[in-house]
Amino acid sequence: MAAVHLLSILLLLSIGLPASAADGDRPALLSFLLGIRSLSQRSLLHWTSPDICNWTGVSCHRTLPQRVLQLDLSCRGLIGSISPAIVGLSFLQVLDLSNNLFSGEIPPELGFLTGLKELTLSSNLLSGTIPPQLSFLAELVYLDLSGNQLAGHIPDALFCNSSNLQYVDLSNNSLAGEIPIHPDSRLNELRFLFLWSNVLEGPIPPSISNSSKLEGIDLKSNYLSGRLPVNLFGKLPSLQFLYLSYNYLSAAGNLDAFLRSLSNCSRMRELELAGNDLVGEIPPSVGLLSVNFLQIHFEENRLTGQIPANISNLVNLTYLNLSNNALNGSIPPDISRLQRLERLYLSNNKLAGDIPQSFGEMPHLGLLDISGNILSGTIPNSFAELRQLRQLLLHGNRLSGNIPHSLGFCNKLEVLDLSHNQLSGSIPAEVASLRSLKFYLNLSSNHLSGPLPPELSKMDMILAMDLSSNHLSGDIPPQLGSCAALEYLNLSSNSLHGQLPGAIGALSSLKVLDLSSNQLAGSLPVSLQASSTLQQLNLSVNNLSGVIPDNGVFASLSGSSFAGNPLLCGHIAGVPSCSKPKRDRRRAVVPILLFAVIGTPCLVFFAVGYPIIRRKRSGRLKFQLPIFHRVVIEHSDEAGNLCSSDYPRISYRQLVEATGGFSDEAVIGSGRFGRVYRGDLRNGTQIAVKILDLNAGGAGEASGSFKRECEVLRRTRHRNLIKIITACSRPDFKALVLPLMPNGNLEQWLYRAKQSPELQLRGMSLETMVRVGSDVAEGMAYLHHYSPVRVVHCDLKPSNVLLDGDMTAVVSDFGIARLVKRGGNDGGCGGGGAGDVGSLASCISTAGLLHGSVGYIAPEYGLGGHPSIHGDVYSFGVLLLEMITGKRPTDVVFHEGLTLQEWVRSHYPDSLHAVVPQDLTLSTLKTLADSDPFSFRKMNVFVITELVELGLSCSQHSPSLRPSMADVAHEMAVLKQELSRLSAQEASSFKA
């Protein structure tokens, strides 16, 4: 309504004013305004005043009255189309309409703004083709059309006539065909060319070399093919970064010549060739590249042979990734000459031999991943010298010997994974007391023996611990109850005995506990029954006795959780009942005689064979921690179904039946590429079926969106990411089958509660808000740091955070995610935001990707920056502040003239009460608040202040100042634990 009133006023002001020189550019601006509407009046502030030079976003010529030089309406939440009337701004030099919701086609009339030097229309919903008339803009220096839904070919004339162009960004669209840079193209001034994430094909045009001033080229995530050009990039002396990853480029014997040609690029810093079709060996010429190189990405190709020793000549490298190839031989000890290296990935190759002792000579090494090889020998003591080491991943090798005590000196280590090796001996106390471990310790599937060290209790911030499938013995130390943040504990398939300590069940964050296949005895501790967080429990194949309670977590468990404990009884299906009917003494003679006949053979059998059976059974019953679990999706079968071995096969007919024939009554959400239906399978399972409209969007957009969502969940698995049940993919039908999220999404809880009495009664307490924020942070940390391939979500916002039945949050909707690897099969499997309804603020496209949604987009994206994990951190910061304040980021911009974080910062720390709604504080522990308001208020102020500080830190303007999601997840885990402790303390004092 505000926009309608504004438009009416403007039209009244324009009535009776003839178009004359005195009017200047006012009529053109008013005509432009007719085609748009805004979400708030403040987005076009002062557009009612007579002087257009005072209008928001308008800058006028100094000497020519009422003539507009610049029109900058970026990030204003404008909706509509771009009017051709804008051509009336004949003196216009800068037009920036980026980060809005403009739709429709780009008006060809823009080509007649002959004085235009900068045209920025990025991050909108523009469709159609690029008008060839833009080639008429002879003065154009800066062109950015990225992040739209543009399709068709890039006009040949655009690169032939625009001789002044310095910056061209057409990335994140659906542009097809070959790159139209021909010998007659006049791009002499071009410095930056960004065409990534389109559907461009064909070879890299040799004529790019004519643009000798090029500094940056990004062509990744397309369908470019052919051989790497040999005599092209070497002619670009100013080239600093070259990104060609995730295409179909081959080397075919010329990788050596290609790298030699790059040796002429003395300023070059980054080279990305990941995810192509490179075969053969890495040639020694890699050592001839510029000493200024900082990053090299050769992962996910088919490279063979040894790692060339002279790669160590690149002494300024900070990042080297050779993972997921078929490299063999040993790791060259001279790699330690890379003194500035921070991250080294050599995983999933065929590297053999010992781990070089010289690794300890790399002072800045923070991540070392050499997992998934056939390395042997012992773990070097020299790792103790790596003072910056945060992640050490050695799993899936053939390492033997003891775990070195010296690893305990790596006092910044956050992740340690030595699983699936042949390590023996006991767990050193020095390693067990690594207080810095924040995420997980995995020593499973080795030959470790001896007792569990009580020093494990010092890992008070660790989230997951897996020591399963070893030969550990002795009692479970009650000191493990000090691991306050522990959520996953797996001690299965060992020889632990004694009673289960009550301190384990009392862990306040514990969600999964697997103690199966041990020799534990005694009764079940009461603390397990009282646990409010425990979700999965496996105590099978032990010697436990007594009655199994029928409430708490036990109410949701099946008999398989207790199988192999003959002295346990209870009301759970599959477990013997505790009440036995009276029997006649004479009837008891029969089993006694039977026992006498067959008892001796059975005793022999159980003495010899039972341990083997128990070991096999434990493999079936053992929990897999989601942090370590991987899902491998198979290709489609003849019926067009896609399934994994972990999930059931669901036919098309079953989907039709479950959704009532995909009836309108079953629709629970819709978006650009289709609808989401609620379904009920015959076995009672509730599902969400996301069916793609294959005719939606531009060519191949729906299939591309399907593929992107598939690629994420095909490679990732985490408790806080949407999980897949299965998928169907046929030429005429593509559907994702996902679990139904009974509590909807976070947006509904933040805003729709105001209109829904049902949601309003339930409300979202501060404790729940912290848990949800912690869940989201963990899911994003996994995507950024621990996933098999790094994923940038690109569109983190409340509607993409789904809530299951117990309000556990899962991150969903990967339709525009930025993947490190693009899959090769359109018929993959994945998941998306079941139940998530698309909004105008989100561009859900495939190749035409936005960097996010309005209000959540990192500021560097508007400056030509690429999607990065730093952008996701920014979005999380905005989401966190939105949860605290109850205000959408767009609402604050339009009503306060500030971004959400600027508005919150202006009230921090002394007047946070002005930005935090009162009902947030009143919704937590209401009874306690009424009885002891001072103590309750003090607790809430502490928590809210911590959340605000974290939100402001994440949403800082500079990407380099933002924390990593790994650090954010840790801080949220600490805050969740502190809030739980404070709540328990206050509740205890209230009872007293």
Residue in this structure with the two tokens 């909807």, named with its chain if needed: 744
Query: Cβ distance 439 to 465 under 8 Å?
Result: no
What percentage of the chain's residues is helix, strand, coil (to nearest 5)?
A: 35, 20, 50
Phi, psi of 230 (to 5 degrees): -90, -45
DSSP codes joined into one string, 490-513: E--SSEEEEE--HHHHT-TT--EE
Who's near 913: CB < 8 A, 6+ residues apart? none
Who's near 593: CB < 8 A, 6+ residues apart? none
Phi, psi of 132 (to 5 degrees): -65, -20
DSSP reduced 3-state for 678: strand
What is the C-alpha to C-alpha distance for residues 915 and 906, in angstroms, rounded to an integer? 10
Query: Cβ distance 595 to 508 under 8 Å?
Result: no
Least Cα distance to 705 among 819, 800, 853 occurs for 819
What is the C-alpha to C-alpha distance for residues 580 and 588, in angstroms, rounded to an integer? 13
State the catalytic residue, choosing from 369, 795, 891, 967.
Answer: 795
What is the C-alpha to C-alpha distance for residues 744 and 764, in angstroms, rounded to an integer? 13
What is the C-alpha to C-alpha distance for residues 746 and 759, in angstroms, rounded to an integer? 12
Where does 223-373 have alpha helices with state H?
Answer: 255-262
Token pair of 547, please?
């009655």
Q: How far is CA 481 from CA 434, 484, 569, 982, in A?
A: 16, 7, 27, 18
**Is-cis flag, bond preceding 909, omega within 30?**
yes
What is the C-alpha to C-alpha distance for residues 346 and 369, in angstroms, rounded to an integer? 6
DSSP codes joined into one string, 540-590: -SSEEEEEEPSSGGGGG--GGGTTT-TEEEESSTTS--S------HHHHHH
Q: How far is CA 724 from CA 329, 643, 688, 703, 704, in A?
A: 39, 10, 10, 18, 18
What is the C-alpha to C-alpha distance for residues 382 and 360, in angstroms, rounded to an integer? 5
Residue 794 CB burial class (10 angstroms; 0-12, 13-18, ≥19): buried
Helix 933-954 vs helix 869-885: crossing angle, to nearest 10: 150
Residue in this structure with the two tokens 């979005």, named with its chain if needed: 875
Instruction: Please list the residues that pair with 752 across neighbouring strands.
Output: none
220 among the known binding-site residues?
no
Active site residue 795: yes
Q: How far is CA 172 from CA 149, 460, 477, 822, 866, in A?
A: 8, 43, 54, 14, 10
DSSP reduced 3-state for 329: coil
Q: How far is CA 484 from CA 435, 508, 725, in A?
A: 12, 7, 33
DSSP codes joined into one string, 362-430: -TT--EEE--SSEE-S---GGGGG-TT--EEE--SS--EEEPPGGGGG-TT--EEE--SSEEEEPPPHH
Phi, psi of 263 (to 5 degrees): -65, -15
Query: Cβ distance 562 to 621 under 8 Å?
Result: no
What is the C-alpha to C-alpha distance for residues 895 and 891, in angstroms, rounded to an integer? 6
Question: Which strand (E) or helix (H) includes residue 859?
Answer: none
Query: Cβ distance 428 to 404 under 8 Å?
Result: yes
User: 339: number of CA atoms within 13 Å, CB side?
Assistant: 3
Residues flagged as binding site for ATP: 690
Residues flagged as binding site: 690
Active site residues: 795
